[in-house]
Amino acid sequence: MPDPVSGAGAYVAAAYIVFVTLIVVYVAIIGTKVARIERELESLARLVEEPEP
């Protein structure tokens, strides 16, 4: 295989990198969403365990 970093190889790499980046960014977004869910769940749990005023 010719030097992969120049010429055609660079383009192929770029295309696959775009693909992987999209997926990773997407997962990161879902990750932040899940983190937010976790925090919300925690605060709700505290609300439930609050002693009667």
Partner 1 sequence: MYGSGLRPLSIATAVATAAAAVLIFFYAPIEADQGFSQKIFYVHVPMAIVALLGFVAAGLMAIKHLRSRDRSWDLRSYVAIHLSIILGVGVLVTGSIWAKASWGHWWRWEEPVLVSFLIVFLLYCVYFPLRFSIEDPDRQARYSSVFAITAGAFVPLNFVAVRLAEQVLHPRVFSQTGGDLPGEMFLTLMVSLLAMALLFVTLWKLELSAKHAAQQLKRLRARLELQSERRAEGRGPVPAGAGADGGAVATVPAHPTSA
Q: Specify whether the CB–CB gap between 24 and 17 falls below 8 A.
A: no
Does residue 6 belong to the site contacting partner 1 (CB under 8 A)? no
How many C-beta atoms lie closer than 10 Å to residue 51's C-beta? 4
5 binds partner 1 per the rule CB under 8 A: no
CA angle 38, 43, 46 (to 5 degrees): 125
What minimum distance in Å lies between the beta carbon of 12 and partner 1? 5
What is the CA 18 to chain-centroid distance, rounded? 15
The pattern of x and - marking residues 22 through 41 that bind partner 1 according to CB under 8 A reads xx--xx--x--xx-xx--xx
Residues forming contacts to partner 1 in the complex (CB under 8 A) are 1-2, 7-9, 11-12, 14-16, 18-19, 22-23, 26-27, 30, 33-34, 36-37, 40-41, 44, 47-48, 50, 52-53
